Chains A and B, each alone.
Chain A
Amino acid sequence: MSALPVLPSERTLADSPESDQALASLLESLLAIAVATAISGLMLLVAGHDPLNAFAEFVDRTLLRSAGLQEVLVHTTPLLLAGVAVLIAARAGLWNIGIDGQVLVGALSAAVVGAWLVGANRPVLWVGAVAAALIGGAVWATVPALLRSRWEINEIVTTIMFNYVAISLTAWLVKGPLRDQTLVASQTPLIPPALRFASLGDTRVHIGFPIAVATWLVAAWWLHRSVAGFELRAVGGNPRAARHAMIPVIVVLGAALIASGGLAGLAGGNDVLSTKGAFQAEWYPGYGLSAFALVFLARRHVLALLPAALFLGTLAYGADVMPRAAGIHSAFFSLFEGVLLIVLAAFRWRPWRRLGGGG
């Protein structure tokens, strides 16, 4: 099975964002948010909530309070990393739907190495655990990457399957061989708060956020200003032309998926080293599909990732506080993101253009 080809029109749309297109994309994203808000607000109404009241409460808790804003940045951090991961694969023409599995493996690796380095000083622990997260996620993406690049086995199915393998494998490891026997709950040894990512000033925001932003900036530079990034985009744009230009397509595809997995692993490591402190059984953040909502809200444009991540981070924190603040179950926010993705997918339809032209 070869990779599912992307429509030529989509390639040109993604690869040459001109200024008027950027404006159109921004308007489309805002419109998509409005449509998704309307549809899910209707769902709230049907379920017997007051949507306007809930919306006011949501804005108040997340954006109008200092503590809320800090938490939004905390929740944005892993999403931004996962979004960069999805985007790098997408720009190479790959669908990395295995983010969730890579996050889990990266988080477990960071938790194990971090707990092992508890005796060392803080920076050593951070570097070691972050490297472990990166490697863990990358390793977890290696098999789908090899199958895709070497044997042309579609990465969509294999990365999804690897999510479920990762869920079971990490659950087994943390309930069995890697469990901290001194604790009642199934989890790895706890990294003490004093050794986790340092907070920025007096806030809840920790150094994970600037690290994620720096990663994003480096990725943006790398994707658009480096030879390797150019090769990656060339392969994603037109693999046949890339092959004729002597670009090693197989290597680029494999490396892109592995790099994407490493970044996803970093998102998992960030959570362990900041808010969680350990890998717990049954922990499943589900960043993967949110990251897809993020990347397509950003219209696959790397610079738009940060604002899109801030928006989804706001939603993620909303999912944390709204159950207690307004009695709205956190699953509502998955519903919202799903509707948003559907609307964004449908926005390739532009009635004012000829259908044959696509776009």
Chain B
Amino acid sequence: MNVEAISTALIAAAILTSMPLMLAAVGEAIGERAGLLNLGIEGSMLCAAFGSFWIALETGSVTVGLLGGAVVGLGIGLVFGILATVFHANQVVLGLGITLGGTGGTAFLFREGYGSTQPLLALGIGRPFEGWLDWFPVIGPAIGDQRWFVFVAWIMVLAGHFFLWRTRAGLQLRAAGESPFGLESVGGNVTAVRIGAAAIGGVFYGFGGAALSVIELGFFSPGITAGAGFLAVALAMLGRLSPLRVGLFTLAFGLLTGFDTGLQIAGVNARPELLRMLPFAGVVIGLAILGRGVRLPPALGQPYGGIASRR
């Protein structure tokens, strides 16, 4: 293989592998904009990944599987939203509970259903624009030859961005995290807005988890997210909770961490354990550099008690 073909393959792999992470990070960003800090994404993604894998395996349809994963994400998002608002649950504890329960629950159900076998999805996934961008060197085929859901994912990110910054509902959503008292004082319903934001975010990370098992890997195994859900929380903060910036940031992150494959091809002999450490160490370094540059919504993580609770 020549250098050009290797570069194309590396970039294409980075675009594909960063896509589930990107959807999860944008889902987290939408929730955080409304004041909801969700540490349950790791467990939610596992639930969505397992659900969509199971549905795709049973129905033989990638699309139905993906939609199933989105429904799982929506359901968990609603539960999170309702418990965090109506029930005033502590968001960190709630999120950790969802992660623990989701990790354990999917592992339990997978072992119950499949024992120690490892079923694979042998479903073709269309590449609608294959060859369309071949005229552009290196990057052209890396983008053009992607599986169809990659384009859907990017459209979702753009739609999320448009929704947050250009619609009335998006403005209300941001107000719920920025100034919940202000939102209520102009007649908004903070609880309803936050539950809605949690549901929308849930659809995003539901699709993210589904894309991980059904689109990217074609199989499910317990703990398959390997920290992606927590990386999503960090990437959402590093991308300053703006869906477009989070998306581009995740892509750049995917390209950087994809370098390990490139290094191995180039003959650099590095232990895989050390390479696996890089994304997580990189996030800490990124946070340390940006430091206070990451400005989070003032009401993030706090339950809303209504205007009467204001002191």
Contacts and interface: CB of A to CB of B under 8 A. Distances in A.
Interface string A322-353: 00000001011111111111111110110000
Contacts of B309: 355-358
B242 interface: no
B137 interface: no
Interface residues of A, number: 62
A147 B286 CA distance: 12
Interface stretch (A20-28, A105-113, A164-172): A164-172
Interface in A146-161: 147, 151-154, 156-158, 160-161
A140 B306 CA distance: 41
B244 interface: no
A176 interface: yes
Interface string B85-98: 01111101110111
B104 A337 contact: yes
Given A329-B108, A346-B94, A349-B89, A1 B292 contact: yes
A97 B104 contact: no
A356 B181 CA distance: 13
Given A171-B273, A345-B83, A162 B104 contact: no
Contacts of A337: 100-101, 104
Contacts of A153: 287-288, 291
A176 B104 CA distance: 31
Contact of A172 (B37, B237, B273, B294): B273
B108 A358 contact: no
Contacts of A356: 305-306, 308-309
B64 interface: no
Given A43-B105, A331-B111, A292 B96 contact: yes
Given A4-B300, A47-B109, A331-B222, A10 B104 contact: no
Contact of A349 (B87, B276, B296): B87
Given A147-B288, A358-B305, A168 B273 contact: yes
A168 B227 CA distance: 12
B301 interface: yes
Nearest to B107: A331
A92 B86 CA distance: 27
A338 B95 CA distance: 9
Contact of A342 (B97, B108, B288, B301): B97
Nearest to B304: A355
A319 to B, nearest CB: 10
Contacts of B284: 143, 147, 158, 161-162, 165
Interface string A1-36: 110110110100000000000000000000000000
Contact of A335 (B105, B277, B283): B105
Contacts of B301: 4-5
B233 A157 contact: yes
B295 to A, nearest CB: 7
Interface of A: 1-2, 4-5, 7-8, 10, 43, 47-48, 95, 97, 143, 147, 151-154, 156-158, 160-165, 168-169, 171-172, 175-176, 289-290, 292-293, 296, 329, 331-346, 348-349, 354-358
| A-B CB proximity, top 6 nearest | A338-B101, A334-B104, A341-B97, A338-B100, A331-B107, A335-B104
Given A162-B284, A341-B93, A341-B96, 15 more contacts: A43-B108, A143-B284, A147-B288, A157-B283, A165-B281, A168-B274, A290-B100, A292-B96, A329-B111, A331-B111, A335-B101, A338-B101, A345-B97, A355-B88, A357-B305
Interface of B: 37, 39, 43, 83, 86-90, 92-94, 96-105, 107-109, 111-112, 222, 227, 230, 233-234, 237, 271, 273-274, 276-277, 280-281, 283-284, 287-288, 291-292, 294-296, 300-303, 305-306, 308-309, 311
